[in-house]
Each structure stands twice: as structure tokens, then as C-alpha cells.
Amino acid sequence: MFDDAALERLREILVRRPAIEIDAPQHRRACVLIPLIRKNGGWSILFTRRSENLASHSGQIAFPGGSVEEGESLERAAVREAEEEVGIPSRHVELIGRLDDVITHSGFLVAPFAGVIHEPIEYVIQEAEVVEVFEVPIESLLDVSNPEVRYVPFRNRNYPAYFYHHGPYEIWGLTGRMLKAFLDLVWQAI
């Protein structure tokens, strides 16, 4: 069970293990926040559904995030994007660690950060980018039925992809890859 004690162990795991940083200057630098929210005595992860009007990853389920601005630290970018997209005030975010960099098929180099949200949030959605915000209990994501591995076609080849299911939601693609990496660490903490 992922409880407060497991959260503390996760924090220690993240501090001890340095994130793998990929040197790929040809890719555009981006960051995401994996927001951990206390909900009904347990912990949930916040996800968004991206607008259909976006140039990349439109309509997909994602963590709040986006491009790093000139001169901005990766940590600051992750927290700023979460505030801009869904209204999580930066002062309520405690970053507890960074996961390994991930390269997307669309040309981004993404740094994922895990962060604990210490206050209840009234989400304010930036509708140009986000059409929905929802939370999934970590216990649901750790269910033995998750993840389902399927092969998806991309550029005339099939690649394995992780699919997480919760109610009507199917979380996969880049978010599924980052979620799998995060939950692998959660498993070590419980």
C-alpha cells in the first residue's frame, strides 16, 4: 500500500538515485510534473487530457508540462507549467525527485519531476491546452491488471507500449512510459 511511510521511502529512493540526463541538443527541452495529491487518506496522481487543437500530443492524457523557457531551470519549468495549465500554485508543490529523461517521437527531450501537492487545489484549467483534469489513486495504477503491454505501429514498425486503465481512462504513450518508470520506483518503496 502506498501510504505516507511509502512516500517517505520513495523520497529517499529518488534522492539516492541520480536521474539519467540525455544529451540531445537537437531536441526541444520540456518538463512535466507528476503531481501526487492526498485524496481520501491515500495518494492519487493528477493527469490532464490535452486539447485536440494542440500541434503535438493533441487529445492525449498527459502530466502537466511543457517547454522550458530560455534561462529557466528544469525544476522551475515543471512547476510553472503545472501552475499555468491546471492552476497548481507553485508554493504548494514540493519536488521530491527527478526521473530519467525521455525522448519523444515528436522531438522533445522531457525531464519528469515527481512533486507532492500539500494543499487542496481548485483546478483552473487553461482551456487552450487542457480540456480535463482527473486524479487516479496510486493503488489503482498498482493493480495487477496494470499495465497492459500492447504493440503499437509507428513508422512501419511495432513498438511495445504500456497501457494503464482506470475507469474510462486509458493512459499510454509518453505518459504511460513515464508512469511506468515512476511506478517501478513506487514498487520499491512499498
Looking at the 3D structure of the chain, how many domains does it have? 1
- 49, 33 in Cβ contact below 8 A? no
Read off the CATH number of the domain in which 63 is found: 3.90.79.10
- 36, 26 in Cβ contact below 8 A? no
Count of other CB atoms within 10 angstroms of residue 77: 22
pLDDT in tens, 135-184: 999 999 999 999 999 999 888 889 899 999 999 999 999 999 999 999 99
pLDDT of residue 79: 98
Q: Let me know if residue 57 belongs to a domain.
A: yes
pLDDT in tens, 57-79: 667 899 999 999 999 999 999 99
Q: Let me know if residue 110 belongs to a domain.
A: yes
Q: Let me know if residue 55 belongs to a domain.
A: yes
Q: Is 61 exposed, middle or buried (0-12, 13-18, 19+ CB in 10 A)?
A: buried
Q: Let me know if residue 20 belongs to a domain.
A: yes
Q: What are phi and psi of 56, to 5 degrees?
A: -125, 145
Q: Let me know if residue 10 belongs to a domain.
A: yes
Q: Let me know if residue 113 belongs to a domain.
A: yes
Q: Let me know if residue 173 belongs to a domain.
A: no
Q: Let me know if residue 181 belongs to a domain.
A: no
Residue 131: strand pairing partners = none
pLDDT in tens, 92-151: 999 999 999 999 888 899 999 999 998 889 999 988 889 999 999 999 999 999 999 999
Residue in the structure block whose three cell numbers are 503535438? 56
Maximal CA-CA distance, the chain: 46
Can you give the residue range of the structural domain that contains 88?
A: 4-137
pLDDT surpasses 80 at 55? no
